[in-house]
Amino acid sequence: MKIISCIEELRDQLRGQLRTAFVPTMGNLHEGHLSLMRLARKHGDPVVASIFVNRLQFGPNEDFDKYPRTFQADVEKLEKEGVYVLFAPSEKDLYPEPQEYRVRPPDDLGNILEGEFRPGFFTGVTTVVLKLFSCVQPKVAVFGKKDYQQLMIIRNMSKQFALPTEIIAAETWRAKDGLALSSRNGYLSEAERAEAPILFQTLNQVADQVRAGQLDPASIEEAAMEKLVQREWQPDYISIRKRDNLQAPTATEIANGTALVVLAAAKLGKTRLIDNLEI
């Protein structure tokens, strides 16, 4: 596996490749990330991964400096997966001058749910993804469904900018107890890790209520949030949304079987976890 930090060197290495499959990451790789590499290989060749902790998507009080960085272990994992190139730019490589041009998602998608609680987050995400796409020029790129809203925003961005990159969605990789794998899971204490699967259990309970015919999403959401609070979680949201645009469904839409997804974000101790479940 070649490890490249320079954009021009990366372009030279990939020149002439017409089926490149790309998986962007922020490192601290776990089995969920590695499953993305395997899915990428099914859709293209060669497989290119990137590791870059993107400062633009972190708020002033978020964990940019503390975000786990495990580069050597990540390299070993990617080598075992047969990744062709690891693009690992420094901030100076990717942002040689201040990134004053930004890609801002539309407010009705970018400022809800995660966007409401992390202002500017999706502008940081879309800006770095567009820049990485420009560097790698992939035929396909793979993103996990765990970051459901992010996946939708990137897919819409790629479509609206007519990018020659197909966005592939990968199912969320879970531990045996249901917890969605995340680099931030490493922040959890032993007791918190034992409690963490409750978030996914709560999503399943919400989904069961919707499937059983309950048509008042607000009351379902409120009750689910209260259950988490009673267990000493600090929920930001549990929200039932339409899959196609992440807007809130009406009772009629729910009754008519509109495709839905329930999304959640909540702090357990100092660790903020997100998850979702399609209904």
Q: Are 237 and 273 in contact (CB under 8 A)?
A: no
Q: Are 233 and 263 in contact (CB under 8 A)?
A: no
Rounded Cα gap, residues 207 and 200, in angstroms: 11
Output b/e per residue, 227-252; b: 16+ Cβ within 10 A: bbeeeebebbbbbbbbeeebeebeee
Rounded Cα gap, residues 110 and 186, in angstroms: 27
Reference 9, options 54, 53, 38, 48; nearest CA is 48
Q: Write out the catalytic residue numbers.
A: 33
Report DSSP letters for 83-138, one per residue.
-SEEE---HHHH-SS---------HHHHSSTHHHHSTTHHHHHHHHHHHHHHHH--
Rounded Cα gap, residues 112 and 47, in angstroms: 33
Q: Which are the contacts of 186, defined by CB distance < 8 A and separation ≥ 6?
A: 28, 68
- State the amino acid at position 261 in one-letter form: V
Helix (H) or strand (E) holding 194: helix 190-195
The pairing of strands 2-4 and 271-278 is: unpaired
Q: Which are the contacts of 13, defined by CB distance < 8 A and separation ≥ 6?
A: 2, 4, 85
